[in-house]
Amino acid sequence: MIGVAILGGGIFAREEHKPAVEASKDLTLKAVYSRSLKSAKTLEVDESKVDLYSDDSGAGKSLDDLLARSDIQAVIVALPIKNQPDYIRKVLLAGKHVLSEKPVAENVKEAAELIKWYHSEIEPKKVTWAVAENVRYTNSFIRAAEVVKTKGRQLTFRCRLQTLVEGGKYFETEWRKSPTHQGGFLLDGGVHFTAGLRLMMGKDNPLVSLSAHSAQLQEHLPPVDTVEATAKSKKGSVGTISISFGTTHKGSEWAVGCEKGSVSLSGNKVTYDEKTEEVQDERTGVPGEVRAWGEALAAGKVNESQSPEEALADLELIEAMLRSGEQGGVPIKLEYQEL
């Protein structure tokens, strides 16, 4: 069994990461770290088996102490976006494998620099860095992507996720209510939706350019909560990406129109050939994601779907939409989509 620590005392760490680690055949939870002991305790672990570390726990209970433990080989980093890169570097330099939460970083420049550093300084030491994106382990998206492959040349595509965020447990965190990262909620949540579109379209037809308009429709969702983009792919298909957390016109759909018919996904229902399949998803996809990470660690490699480059491609689409929107819809050429 591979000893694992979780860095982060947030809701997602408690409700998704912890049970996923506990359910994995290859992983065993050894420790939890958060800046405060109060926050670390929110994971509600069995403290007779799992040790708690924090900045206010006194001697022997710091993050450095945790990283010095030989029985911890891997770490899940689930911290606010702006803090992630520093902790990723620190954990990797300590010789521990990392699974960091998406987005890979708060902007493309920082992400690209971190990935370059990892490949030159860390990877040769056989220490691995994976980036989590649970959409890639969601059965409904996987099934939709499988069907798209059978439908021939792609003609058009659509990614639409529109809702109204009024608050709630995931929003009521300071780093989300007063974001320092670009795009606010659009960046944090949007990378899931671009990951889903990229998965459905496949690696052989990546997007190459896009143009977008953006807006802040709700006062409590700074700096922008809505973006509408048109995009073009390598093979000439065209489509739209519509993401809003500030509208009453709610709905979600990922769709690809192909020569032999269209494939669409809404919720967990995949529609094609005038029929609808209801696909059973495993929670949010996190159990499968963490299980795949554990299996890859046991095999001494990085799962291809968890490569930092995949996460960079998801991030680039959101950042390009934000940059285009700031400039009134100027076209943006994409650089990191071909993998």
Which residue matches tokens 């902790």? 87
- Confidence bin at 328 (pLDDT 50/70/90): very high
Angle (CA) 66-38-75 rounded to 5° is 30
- For the chain, the domains span 2-133+287-304, 135-280+314-333
Q: DSSP characters for 111-169? A: HHHHHHHIIIIIGGGT--EEE--GGGG-HHHHHHHHHHTTS-SEEEEEEEEEEE----T
Cα dihedral value 183, 119, 28, 52, nearest 10: -60
Cα dihedral value 314, 319, 325, 331, nearest 10: -80
Instruction: Please give the Cα distance from 237 to 258 (Å, whole number).
Output: 9
What six digits make up the tokens of 258?
């192909």
- pLDDT score recorded for residue 172: 57
Instruction: Quick: pLDDT tens for 154-213.
Output: 999 999 999 999 866 555 556 556 666 678 889 988 999 999 999 999 999 999 999 999
Angle, helices 139-148 vs 185-201, to 10°: value is: 40
Beta bridge partners of 253: 160
Which residue, among 331, 187, 199, has the nearest Cα to 265 in the 3D structure?
Answer: 199
Please give the average per-residue pLDDT across 45-49, as a whole number: 96
Instruction: Please give the Cα distance from 215 to 232 (Å, whole number).
Output: 22
Taking 90 as the threshold, does the pLDDT of residue 134 lie above it? Answer: yes
Superfamily for domain range 2-133+287-304:
NAD(P)-binding Rossmann-like Domain (3.40.50.720)
CB atoms within 10 A of CB 169: 9
Q: Are 258 and 151 in contact (CB under 8 A)?
A: yes
Count, in order, helices (H) and strands (E) of the chain: 11, 15
What six digits make up the tokens of 144?
């939709």
What six digits make up the tokens of 149?
């492959």
- pLDDT score recorded for residue 121: 98
- Confidence bin at 49 (pLDDT 50/70/90): very high
Mean predicted lDDT score pLDDT of the chain: 95
- pLDDT score recorded for residue 179: 64
- pLDDT score recorded for residue 204: 97
Q: Does this chain's domain 2-133+287-304 share its CATH topology with 135-280+314-333?
A: no
Beta bridge partners of 160: 242, 253
- pLDDT score recorded for residue 166: 85
Instruction: Quick: pLDDT tens for 270-323.
Output: 999 999 999 999 989 999 999 999 999 999 999 999 999 999 999 999 999 999
Taking 60 as the threshold, does the pLDDT of residue 256 lie above it? Answer: yes
Instruction: Please give the Cα distance from 36 to 55 (Å, whole number).
Output: 6
Q: Does domain 135-280+314-333 have CATH number 1.10.10.10?
A: no
- pLDDT score recorded for residue 22: 97
Instruction: Quick: pLDDT tens for 51-107.
Output: 999 999 999 999 999 999 999 999 999 999 999 999 999 999 999 999 999 999 999
Q: Are 104 and 312 in contact (CB under 8 A)?
A: yes
